[in-house]
Amino acid sequence: MVKAFRERRDFLVKSFGELSGVKISEPKGAFYLFIDVSSYYGTEAEGFGKIENSESLCRYLLDKGQVALVPGDAFGDDTCIRISYAASLTTLQAAVERIKKALFALK
């Protein structure tokens, strides 16, 4: 089981690390990844409006990407969003694809 969680964590770190302006805090023991997405604040999405903070970005990703994430402001860091890697690798791969597609649409 530890190997599976390590594989999922490594996949997410690599995948989100490919995005320009994104910073990742690698977890030391939990199965959550905190991703600094503040570089997307101030961008806009057609039919959604302006991305102002972690909460609005999570709402946008739920609406456009159909992926539920947790805003970092719930943990005292509004620059980040939190994603769990307790899901299967297949599920995470599909989620990352949808998240990236939604982020690329921001202007």
CATH number at residue 7: 3.90.1150.10
- Per the DSSP assignment, residues forming a β-bridge with 45 are 49
- Residue 34's pLDDT is 95
Residues in the chain predicted with pLDDT less than 50, given as ranges, are none
| Cα-trace Rg, the chain | 13
CB 85 within 8 A of CB 24: no
- Residue 71's pLDDT is 98
Token digits for 82?
A: 């939190």
- Residue 25's pLDDT is 83
Task: From 89, 83, 85, select the one nearest 71 (Cα to Cα).
Answer: 83
- Residue 26's pLDDT is 78
The C-alpha atoms of residue 73 and residue 64 are separated, in whole angstroms, by 21
- Residue 55's pLDDT is 98
The C-alpha atoms of residue 48 and residue 10 are separated, in whole angstroms, by 31
pLDDT tens sequence across 96-105 = 999 999 999 9
Number of domains in the chain: 1
Domain that holds residue 9: 2-104
